């Protein structure tokens, strides 16, 4: 039984009420405003009338917003459509459109990093959108084709992709190539039509699995959490022992308030001492806490149930009156009232939404299963009361 099915089962439990008490409408409104601002922001503009996809605002928006729903003709759906149409346009114009950062370096490294990063993000966004229809679109197939064409096939990074590095943690830092590879695995796992079983991609998948396995030991917990999340949709990415080790480490990092801090999760254990690690383990935030919940919800073990319950309660408590979850940059002190100062809050809000809607969906699924089981038990009691022999054994034989 999944964790959320157990802890969210009874409406009398505080966590069951809590998962439904957060303000979905306010969260949706915040995410829509921020995505709308991003696609209009001159700094995000690229050629052919497109915009770049960011790891802090656009990617999490694309993954989270559809979980919140809304009227088909609402303003929200227009923002969602615009974000998805932008991704589709860049996939279709792949040979003509310039990389995100085509002219940032004389050796062309930023152009290559841009292409690798964009290829993975495009595939993930379109695969996630298609997962709700059950049919992998031509655009998504093309995006995956671009992604596999750019996969590195030799050297120490074989199996991964060139990835943007701007010394910006946790998504464009020194360890971010692994983050990108884990996202690629998540994209394959999310894709419908049994795409993961396609014969044409098995060699690529093998290279990806080998890279994720080979580089596992050097990664910060934040990257290994993405891997754990991806493993819930693409089986066999990690061994049971490693899965258990990630859970153990994650539970040890949970703060007394029930949340997690991205400053702590993204700190590389091989490059930072315990004392400094304790100093930078600042306040809990929605990104780290949401990611932790997502990673733990589908890991079937009783020991993390109290931890996830406390994390869900933290997420519900920490949504502010404007609908979002505040978070701070790991890289610089920014004015939280500025647009750039909201980037980390954009990610925190989207991942909090992903976690809470996932917890809610597990509760609904469990409630339906419990109701079905209750009906079966009631029917059995009626049979016995009427003298009719129960047909359980007979049905089992069939």
Average pLDDT score over residue span 244-265:
94
pLDDT band for position 299 (cuts 50, 70, 90): confident
pLDDT at res. 302: 73
Number of compact structural domains in the chain: 1
Predicted confidence (pLDDT) per residue in 277-292, tens digit: 444 447 899 999 999 9
Average pLDDT over all residues of the chain: 84
Q: Is the pLDDT of residue 367 over 60?
A: no
pLDDT at res. 259: 97
**Residue 351 lies in domain:** 3-397
Q: DSSP character for 222?
A: H
DSSP 75-128: HHHHHHHHHHHHHHHHHHTTTTSPPTTTTS-TTSHHHHHHHHHHHHHHHHHHHH
Q: Which residues does residue 45 pair with via DSSP β-bridges, in sequence order? A: 51
Beta 45-46 vs 50-51: how paired, if at all?
antiparallel
Q: CB–CB of 90/50 below 8 Å?
A: yes
pLDDT band for position 124 (cuts 50, 70, 90): very high
pLDDT band for position 358 (cuts 50, 70, 90): very high
270 versus 226: the higher-pLDDT residue is 226
Q: CB–CB of 116/94 below 8 Å?
A: no
CA-based end-to-end distance of the chain? 25
> Can you give the pTM of this predicted structure?
0.84
Query: What is the rounded distance in angstroms from the CA atom of residue 327 to the CA atom of residue 330?
Result: 9
Query: What is the rounded distance in angstroms from the CA atom of residue 250 to the CA atom of residue 61?
Result: 25
CATH number, domain with residue 271: 1.50.10.20
Q: Is the pLDDT of residue 155 over 80?
A: yes
pLDDT at res. 15: 38
Average pLDDT score over residue span 286-313:
89
Q: Is the pLDDT of residue 12 over 90?
A: no
3-state secondary structure of 129: helix
Predicted confidence (pLDDT) per residue in 18-74, tens digit: 445 899 999 999 999 999 999 999 999 999 999 999 999 999 999 999 999 876 556
Average pLDDT score over residue span 352-364:
87
pLDDT at res. 105: 56
């Amino acid at each position: 039984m999944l964790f959320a099915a157990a802890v969210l089962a009874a409406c009398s439990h505080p966590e069951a009420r809590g998962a439904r008490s957060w303000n979905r409408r306010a969260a949706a409104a915040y995410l829509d405003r921020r995505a709308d601002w991003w696609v209009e922001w001159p700094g995000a503009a690229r050629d052919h009338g497109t915009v770049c996809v960011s790891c802090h605002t656009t990617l999490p928006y694309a993954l989270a917003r559809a979980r919140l729903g809304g009227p088909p003709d609402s303003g929200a759906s227009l923002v969602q459509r615009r974000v998805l149409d932008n991704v589709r346009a860049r996939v279709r114009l792949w040979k003509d459109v310039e990389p995100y950062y085509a002219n940032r370096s004389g050796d062309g490294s930023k152009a290559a990093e841009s292409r690798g990063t964009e290829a993975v993000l495009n595939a993930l966004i379109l695969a996630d959108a298609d997962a709700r229809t059950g049919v992998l679109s031509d655009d998504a197939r093309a995006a995956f084709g671009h992604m596999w064409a750019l996969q590195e096939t030799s050297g120490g990074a074989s199996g991964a992709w060139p990835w943007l590095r701007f010394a910006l943690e946790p998504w464009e830092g020194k360890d971010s190539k692994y983050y990108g590879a884990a996202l690629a695995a998540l994209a394959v796992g999310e894709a419908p039509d049994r795409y993961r079983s396609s014969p044409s991609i098995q060699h690529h998948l093998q290279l990806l699995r080998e890279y994720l396995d080979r580089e596992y030991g050097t990664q910060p917990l934040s990257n290994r959490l993405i891997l754990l999340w991806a493993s819930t949709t693409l089986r066999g990415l990690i061994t049971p022992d490693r899965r258990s080790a990630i859970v153990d480490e994650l539970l040890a990092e949970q703060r007394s308030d029930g949340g997690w801090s991205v400053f702590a999760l993204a700190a590389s254990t091989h490059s930072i001492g315990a004392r400094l690690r304790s100093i930078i383990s600042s306040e809990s935030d929605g990104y780290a806490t949401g990611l932790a919940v997502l990673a733990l919800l589908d890991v079937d073990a009783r020991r993390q149930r109290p931890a996830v319950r406390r994390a869900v309660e933290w997420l519900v408590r920490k949504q502010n009156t404007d609908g979002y979850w505040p978070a701070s940059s790991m890289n610089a002190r920014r004015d939280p009232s500025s647009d750039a100062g909201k980037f980390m809050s954009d990610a925190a809000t989207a991942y909090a939404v992903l976690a809470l809607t996932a917890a809610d969906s597990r509760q609904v699924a469990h409630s339906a299963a419990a109701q079905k089981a209750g009906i079966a038990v009631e029917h059995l009691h009626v049979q016995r009361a009427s003298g009719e022999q129960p047909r359980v054994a007979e049905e089992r034989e069939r």
